[in-house]
Amino acid sequence: MTTSATSTTPALSAAMRSFVEALPKTELHLHIEGTLEPELLFALAQRNKVALPYASVEALRAAYDFTDLQSFLDLYYAGANVLQTEQDFHDMTAAYIARARADNVRHAEIFFDPQTHTERGIGIDVVFAGIARALRQARDEHGFSSAMIMSFLRHLSEEDAFTTLKAALPLREQYRDLWNGIGLDSSERGNPPEKFAKVFARCRELGFHLVAHAGEEGPPAYILGALDVLKVERIDHGVRSEEDPALMERLAREKMPLTVCPLSNLKLCVVDDMAKHNLARLLRAGLAVTVNSDDPAYFGGYMNDNYLAVASALELSRAEIVQLARNGIDASFLPAADKGRLTAELDQYDATH
C-alpha cells in the first residue's frame, strides 16, 4: 500500500523496498483484536447474526478516521463484538498469521484482551483456545513462532484485572507453550501504571514476562511508573520519552526496548506527519527501538507498511533498518538459542542482499 505519510516523503528505491520486504522480522506489539479486517468483521457478524451499524465494508472502513486513542478504542471494542466462538478467534488469528508471514514476520508476540470478551459473556477458555489453535497450527505447518501476552484493560479496575488473572490461571498449564506474558493497554490518560501495581507484582511472582503501554498519549511519568512500579521488560510505544532527557538516557543505558508503532501514531494523531516521527531520533540516541503494527486492520498497514513508512519518511539508512530488525529479535521473549538463530539469519540476509 502507499501510506499517506506526507506528500514530501521521498520515494524509496526499488532495491531498498525489496530489501525491507524480505527482511526477517519479529512483531512484538500486535493486538489480535486489532487485526480484524472489515471483510472478516462483516463475515463474522453474518455468521453470528450480529447487527452492525454500517451498511457495507466500505462504510465501516470509512469510519476509521480517528482523532485520538479513545476515538479508535470505541470502534475497536465495538468491532470485537462479532467475536463469539472459538472458531471466530481462530479465524481472526489465522488471517493475521497469513498476513504476517507474507511480510516475512518470523516470530510474533501477540496481545489479547480477555476482558473485552468476558464482559460480553464469552468464556475466557474460548478466547485462549481459538487464538492458541491458530498459533499452534502455524508453528506446526510453517515454523511460525509466537507467544501470547494477556493484557489488562487499564480503564477497568485493578480488581477486575485480578478477576481476569484468576480466571486465566487454571489454563496456564494447557497453554504453557504460548502464554508467557502480561500486558496493559486501553485508555492511557488518567489510568497510570501505579493503578495496577499489585496485580503486576503478582504476575511477576508467577513468572510472567511483563510489558505495558506507556508514553503513547500519557506523559513520561507513566513510562517511569511502568519501569519502576510495574517492573516491565519492554515499553509499548514510549514515544513521549523524548520529552524527558534523563529518561531517554536511562532507556538507552538500560537497553530498554520500545515497541514503536509508526502508522498507529500517525492514525491516532500522536504525530501529524510521518516525517516528524521521532523514531529515527530515538534510534540514533541509542534506544532499543523496534517497529510494530499495533492494530493493522485499523491503522492501514502491517509490518512491511510500517517499516517502509519510516524508512521512506525518515530516510533511514540500510544499517538502521537492519538495526531495527535486530532490536526486535533482542527484545523478544524467545530463548537465547532461538534469538541466536534468528540473528544469524538476519546477518546472513544482510550480507547477501
Give contact residues for ligand HPA (rule: CB under 6 A).
31, 34, 69, 76, 185-186, 213, 216, 264, 294-295
Can you tell me the distance from the alpha carbon of 305 to that of 303, in angstroms, rounded to the nearest whole number?
Answer: 5
Question: What's the min distance (Å) between Cβ of 6 and Zn ion?
Answer: 23
Q: Binding residue per annotation — 142?
A: no
Site for Zn ion in 119-178 (CB under 5 A): none
* Minimal distance, residue 337 CB to ligand HPA, in Å: 31
Residue that the C-alpha cell 519479529 belongs to: 26
Q: Give whichever of 99 and 326 is closer to ligand HPA, judged by the CB atom.
A: 99
Q: How many CA atoms lie within 13 A of 8 on its CB side?
A: 5
3-state secondary structure of 159: helix
* Residue 74 CB, nearest approach to ligand HPA (Å): 11
Per partner kind, with CB cut-offs from 5 to 8 A, the member of Zn ion, ligand HPA, none near residue 69 is: ligand HPA
Comparing CA positions, the residue from 142, 153, 48 lying closest to residue 92 is 48
Nearer to ligand HPA, 199 or 342 (CB): 199
Q: Which one-letter amino acid corresponds to residue 79? A: G
Q: Cα–Cα distances in Å, from 85 out to 44, 89, 125, 147, 244?
A: 10, 7, 10, 21, 45
Q: Which stretch binds Zn ion (CB under 5 A): 86-94, 289-297, 325-333, 335-343?
A: 289-297
Strand 179-185 and strand 145-153: pairing? parallel
Nearest residue (CB) to Zn ion, 128 versus 299: 299
- Whether 33 sits among the annotated catalytic residues: the reply is no
Residue 148 CA: distances (Å) to CA of 52, 85, 127, 137 = 29, 19, 11, 14
Question: Contact between 217 and Zn ion (CB under 5 A)?
Answer: no
What is the closest distance, in whole angstroms, from the C-beta atom of residue 298 to ligand HPA in the complex? 8
The answer to whether 103 contacts Zn ion (rule: CB under 5 A) is no
Mutual orientation of helices 158-168 and 197-205 as an angle, nearest 10°? 20
Question: Which residue has its beta carbon closest to ligand HPA?
Answer: 185
Q: Say which of 37, 109, 216, 217 is annotated catalytic.
A: 216
- Spatial distance between the Cα atoms of 238 and 216, rounded to a whole number of angstroms: 6
Q: Which amino acids are annotated catalytic?
A: 216
**Residue set of the binding site for Zn(2+):** 29, 31, 213, 294
**Binding positions for Zn ion, rule: CB under 5 A:** 294
